Chains A and B, each alone.
Chain A
Amino acid sequence: GGASADTLGLGRPALAEEIAAWDLDVRPDGTGLPPGSGDVLTGEGVFAEKCAACHGDFGEGVGNWPEVAGGQGTLDNKDPVKTVGSYWPYLSTLWDYVHRSMPYGAAQTLSPDDVYAVAAYILYSNDIVDEEFSLNATNFTGITMPNADGFVVDDRAAREYDVWRAAPCMAECKDSVTITMRATALDVTPRDDVATA
């Protein structure tokens, strides 16, 4: 390593092969994408084999597993459906996450071409591309996700802190207090299975 005056000289240089093995992240501008490509039809096959058991044939989700398609226009609903198509701001995140962490229980088993194909299929399932579409490192940044502009950087300081940093009421703060909701009405708390000591 070679320590300079203010370092301890601990650790050893990381080799290029080691960095390449672990540095897999892909950024919104496409930085980090490896070469490769995959089309919707190929992706449908990979998805059917490796993803559909949990996420459904069309990305609609099975049981309590996440849906990856649909939900567009629901974000201001009482119960929004947040999917890749309705919510995710960047295609890079889909590529990066599938490549590194999916399928659940067998992560890092998809080749770059597999991931391009699955990403193309998920885009198709969300009506973002047509069925002829093939995704690659070059046309990647040409895809704009529907909710790309849906996010604001944390604005609590202006909208909340400035308001709530004030001396609180201590007495006669309300005329009356009424119970409006009870957890026992829902009755969804797990039963305790601890035996009495």
Chain B
Amino acid sequence: MSEKRPNGTSRRAFLRGGVAAAGAVAAGPMRAETPDPLITEVQDWASGLGVGVDEVPYGLPIEFEADVRRRNVPWLTADTKSSVNFTPIHALDGTITPQGCGFERHHSGAITLHKDDYRLMVHGLVERPLVFTYADLERFPRENHVYFCECAANSGMEWAGAQLNGAQYTHGMIHNMEYTGVPLRALLNEAGISGDLSDKWIYVEGADAASNGRSIPLAKALDDVLVAFKANGEALRREHGYPVRLVVPGWEGNLWIKWLRRIEVTNAPVESREETSKYTDTLADGTARKWTWVMDAKSVITAPSPQMPIQHGTGPLVITGMAWSGHGRITRVDVSKDGGKTWEIARLDRAGEAKALCRFYLDTTWDGGEMLLQSRAMDETGYVQPTKNQLRAVRGENSVYHNNGIQTWHVATSGEVENVEVT
């Protein structure tokens, strides 16, 4: 079927072939010189039959969308089982991340844990230490919430400058799903907690070899943390913690314990490996921040972007991207086309939801000139997404985590786009 594509160049061919395909100048409506055979000739699909309803009991995307997939960066880590891959955010729209291409981050691989083998223990400073089965969890009153899960290291490779060429790589350690689950406070209540709770913590860990144990103040646990067993309507994917994961709204992804097996109420943080050696943020003077839980307001333009060049020539152009904040709702996103000299207020597709992705659009016109595209998120606390240089002035370049600096894309006259840093 691919030879029957009269409009020629696919995006991949464009990338391979460089700038030649971008010459089309579109000033005014297009006009056909000859009748389009896709219209004038009866196509196979308008005459024969498609596939039957028994063909695909559980479907995958159509083959032409093969580009929309997770990707990894082999040189980032020593082994793929303690590593990360990236959501193809450049090619997605709206806010909900399809589970099948939602990024993965494991520390000892994605384990296979059957619901029948699943156990969740709640113990420590509780009145009744308890063991729950998966079936028990489904008997608690449940809730649905949409939240983003962003790896603390998202954009971490960009601390010292522009490095990876694509929004998928620079900003794709994130997904945004609708979770179904039980508020953690309901499980803690079942086990019984009382007395002064203000100085208490929970320690949570997974069933995998890495365990990924983390300490969380009890106040957060009682606020909005979910013990989730469904995402986007169906069971969690294996790689996202099947059958049960923790959802910790607004907080760094490492705390979203997958394959959750144990919740211990404690009177002090454990200071585990994942909150001392890792997920601590080294500053320029060699000291490090710990317990940097919240993910600050951030945004990125997903198209145009290095994987999404402008191929349609001049004229109407949709600039789109996503914004999010761990502190609450996104209230505004500004877009600059000149590297931050001037800004326009973008259109939020819907009012921002607390601690969830928000889609924005700037419907504009491209005159074919170079652009330096930037987006700048604001959240309901009044926080304005900083530039990378503002962040570096406070933190230096070795924080590894929590890089929410403004991203710049250079759009060339050819329509090709590159990850750059600007003054």
- Interface residues of chain A, those whose CB is within 8 Å of chain B, are 1-2, 4, 6-8, 10-14, 18-19, 22-23, 25-29, 54, 63-66, 75-76, 78-80, 82, 84, 87-90, 92-93, 96-97, 100-101, 104-105, 107-108, 150-156, 159-161, 164-174, 176-184, 186, 188-190, 192, 194-197
Asked if A96 meets B288 with Cβ closer than 8 Å, knowing A179-B420, A180-B423, A197-B10, the reply is no
- Interface residues of chain B, those whose CB is within 8 Å of chain A, are 2, 10, 12-13, 15, 63-67, 69, 71-75, 77-79, 82, 107-108, 121-124, 128-132, 136, 139-140, 161-166, 169, 189-192, 203, 205, 209-211, 213, 261-262, 264, 266, 268, 270-273, 276-277, 280, 282, 284-294, 296, 306, 334, 338-343, 372, 376, 378, 381-384, 386, 390, 394, 397-398, 410, 418-423
Q: Distance in Å from the Cβ of A189 to the closest Cβ of chain B?
A: 4
Which residue of the partner chain B has the closest CB to A25? B270
Chain A CB within 10 A, most for which of B2, B78, B294: B78
Asked if A177 meets B419 with Cβ closer than 8 Å, knowing A100-B211, A152-B287, the reply is no
CA distance A80 to B2 in the complex (A): 51
Whether B71 and A190, one on each chain, are in contact in the complex, defined by CB atoms closer than 8 angstroms, is: yes
Q: Which of A8, A79, A82, A192 contacts B277 (CB 8 A)?
A: A82
Q: Distance in Å from the Cβ of B85 to the closest Cβ of chain A?
A: 11
Whether A75 and B286, one on each chain, are in contact in the complex, defined by CB atoms closer than 8 angstroms, is: yes
Q: Which of A4, A90, A165 contacts B271 (CB 8 A)?
A: A90
Whether B288 and A150, one on each chain, are in contact in the complex, defined by CB atoms closer than 8 angstroms, is: yes
CA distance A152 to B290 in the complex (A): 6
Q: Which of A104, A150, A155, A178 contacts B286 (CB 8 A)?
A: A150
CA distance A29 to B266 in the complex (A): 13
CA distance A179 to B132 in the complex (A): 56
Whether B282 and A75, one on each chain, are in contact in the complex, defined by CB atoms closer than 8 angstroms, is: yes
Whether B277 and A25, one on each chain, are in contact in the complex, defined by CB atoms closer than 8 angstroms, is: no
Whether B190 and A10, one on each chain, are in contact in the complex, defined by CB atoms closer than 8 angstroms, is: yes
Which residue of the partner chain B has the closest CB to A83? B277
Q: Distance in Å from the Cβ of A17 to the closest Cβ of chain B?
A: 12
Q: Which of B271, B273, B286, B376 contacts A28 (CB 8 A)?
A: B271
Q: Which residues of the partner chain A approach B64 to less than 8 Å between Cβ atoms?
A: 197
Q: Distance in Å from the Cβ of B269 to the closest Cβ of chain A?
A: 8
Whether A27 and B271, one on each chain, are in contact in the complex, defined by CB atoms closer than 8 angstroms, is: yes
CA distance A66 to B306 in the complex (A): 32
Q: Which of B122, B272, B341, B410 contacts A97 (CB 8 A)?
A: B272
Asked if A179 meets B422 with Cβ closer than 8 Å, knowing A25-B203, A88-B277, the reply is yes
Whether A188 and B341, one on each chain, are in contact in the complex, defined by CB atoms closer than 8 angstroms, is: no
Q: What are 13 inter-chain pairs, A to B, with CB distance below 8 A?
A: A6-B189, A25-B203, A26-B270, A75-B288, A97-B272, A104-B82, A152-B288, A166-B384, A168-B334, A178-B422, A180-B422, A181-B162, A190-B73
